[in-house]
Structure 1
Amino acid sequence: MPFTHDRRTHVGVRLAAACLFALLGTSACAKTLVLVDAEPTASATPPSSSVPNTGLQLVGGTAAEHGLTGDGGTPVGAIPQPQPAKWVQLAVASSDAVGAYLTDVNGSTLYRSDHDAPNVSSCADACALVFPPVTIREGGKVYLSPGVDPSAVGAIQRPDGTIQLTIGGRPVYRHTGDTRPGDMRGRGADDAWYPIAPTGAKATPH
C-alpha cells in the first residue's frame, strides 16, 4: 500500500568553488550531495563547508575504472538486498523500443513510476518487493558512466531512513523480474512503470 511522508527530505548540492565536474573517468573533482530538509526551519543549519560530509559523492567514470569489482551490494532479479548498496553505478543503454535508458552496474534496467511525485516515493511494502528502490548507504559513491548528467542525480530519504537515488527528481527502482541486461519485464506495469531516461523522464524512442 502506498505511503505518504509529510516531512520529506531531498538533496541539496554542494560543490567546491571553481570545481567543474566533468565525466573524465577521474575522481579528482567529485560532486557531493548533502541530505537537507525539504522545508528547513529558521534554526536549520544550511549546507556549508563546515558541515560534515555525510552525503553521497558523484564520481565520473565506471566503478571498474576506479578499481572496484563486484556489484557493490546491488542484486539482480529477486535476490534479496538486506541493506543498501555500498556504491551504485549508473550507465546509459539504448534500445529500439525505448531509446536511451539508465542501467545499474549489473546492466539491469532502472525504472520510474507515474505514481510518484517529484522527490516522493509512493512505492513501499508489497510494491517495493516487486520494484525495489535503488538505495545506497549514507556517504556512498555513485559512479557515473559517460552520458549520465551529474546535475540530474539526487536522492531522497525514505520513511525507513534509507537513501534512495533520484534522476531529475524521480525516485529510481529496479524490477525483480529482470534477470539479464536488456530485460524490461517491469515496463508498462500498472500503466505507471517505465524505464527511466537519463533526464528522469520516461524513456521513449526518438
Structure 2
Amino acid sequence: MLPTHPARLLAAAALLALAACAAPTESAPTEPAPTASPAPAAAQGGAHSGGHAGHSTADAGLYAVQSGPLGVVATDSEGHLLYRSDADSAAPSTSACTGACTQTWLPLTVADGAEPELLGVGEALVGRLDRADGDDQLTLAGWPLYRHRDDTGGLADAGQNGADGSWFAITPTGEKAAA
C-alpha cells in the first residue's frame, strides 16, 4: 500500500531519490525494509496530541529524508526535523531536557503500546526512554529525540546548534547531521 499522507509521500519520494543516487557497487534491496506497524487510529494525532503539553507525538512515524544542506536526516511523520542534544546520553539513554527546556525542545513521545511507522530508519535503532513525567520518549541509536517548537515541517533547521551549540539535527543512524 502506498503512503497517502503528504509527509509520507515526501518521505517516499526522498527515499526513491536516495536509491537512485546510490553508488553503482551498491545493490538495491530486493525486499522492502521491515517497518513497525502503524499506531492504532485512536493513538494517532497531531504534533501536540497525547502525552503532556509541550511534547510531540510520533505515533505515525519516523522517516529518513534528504534535506539539502543537512543531508539525510530523521523527521517525524509531519516533516519536522528531529534533534539530539549533547547534554543527553545515548548509553544509557538519558534525557537532560526537563522543565523549561521542554517548552523549546519538544520530546518526541509515543503512546503506550504504539509503534511508529519507520521509513528508512532501522527498527533496531529505535527505542524508548521512560521520562520522569511518565511519557515514553523515542530514541534513535540511544539518543532521545526532540523537535524544535518553531519547526513548521518544511525541513528548515530551526534548532541546529541551538542557543548553546549543543542541539543537532539527527541522521537516521543517530549521528549529528552536517551543519
**TM-score, reference length from structure 2:** 0.70
Instruction: Give 2:44's aligned residue.
Output: 72
How many positions carry a matched residue from both structures?
142
Describe the SS at the equivalent of 1:159: coil
| Cα pair distance change 1:134/1:97, threshold 3 Å | same
| Cα pair distance change 1:71/1:131, threshold 3 Å | farther
Instruction: Give 2:140's aligned residue.
Output: 167
**Whole-angstrom CA distance in 1 between matches of 2:60 and 2:108:** 8
1:110-131: CA deviations, max 9, x gaps?
1100110120000011110000
Instruction: Give 1:129's aligned residue.
Output: 103
**Whole-angstrom CA distance in 2 between matches of 1:179 and 1:138:** 26
**Whole-angstrom CA distance in 1 between matches of 2:176 and 2:60:** 21
Instruction: Give 2:65's aligned residue.
Output: 93
Deviation at 1:88, TM superposition (A): 3.3
Is 1:114 the counterpart of 2:76 in the alignment?
Answer: no
**Whole-angstrom CA distance in 1 between matches of 2:86 and 2:125:** 18
Instruction: Give 1:180's aligned residue.
Output: 153
Preserved CA contact (<8 Å) 2:58 2:108: no
- Residue 96 of structure 2 aligns with an amino acid whose one-letter code is S
**Whole-angstrom CA distance in 2 between matches of 1:67 and 1:157:** 21
Match of 1:23 among 1, 19, 33: 33
**Whole-angstrom CA distance in 2 between matches of 1:161 and 1:24:** 29
Identity among equivalent pairs (%): 33
| Structure 2: gaps spanning 5 or more residues | 1-31
**Larger Rg computed on CA atoms:** 1
1:145-164 to 2 correspondence within 5 Å? 145=119, 147-164=120-137
**TM-score, reference length from structure 1:** 0.62
Is 1:83 the counterpart of 2:51 in the alignment?
Answer: yes
**Whole-angstrom CA distance in 2 between matches of 1:93 and 1:194:** 15
**Between structures 1 and 2, the one with greater strand share:** 1
Instruction: Give 1:192's aligned residue.
Output: 166
Deviation at 1:161, TM superposition (A): 1.2
1:79-131: CA deviations, max 9, x gaps?
x5452648230111113321110011111101100110120000011110000
- Residue 178 of structure 2 aligns with an amino acid whose one-letter code is T
Deviation at 1:162, TM superposition (A): 0.7
Please provide the CA RMSD for this pair: 2.7
**Whole-angstrom CA distance in 2 between matches of 1:99 and 1:71:** 31
Query: 4+ residue stretches of structure 1 with deviation over 6 A?
Result: none
**Whole-angstrom CA distance in 2 between matches of 1:134 and 1:111:** 9
**Whole-angstrom CA distance in 2 between matches of 1:71 and 1:160:** 19
| Cα pair distance change 1:81/1:123, threshold 3 Å | farther
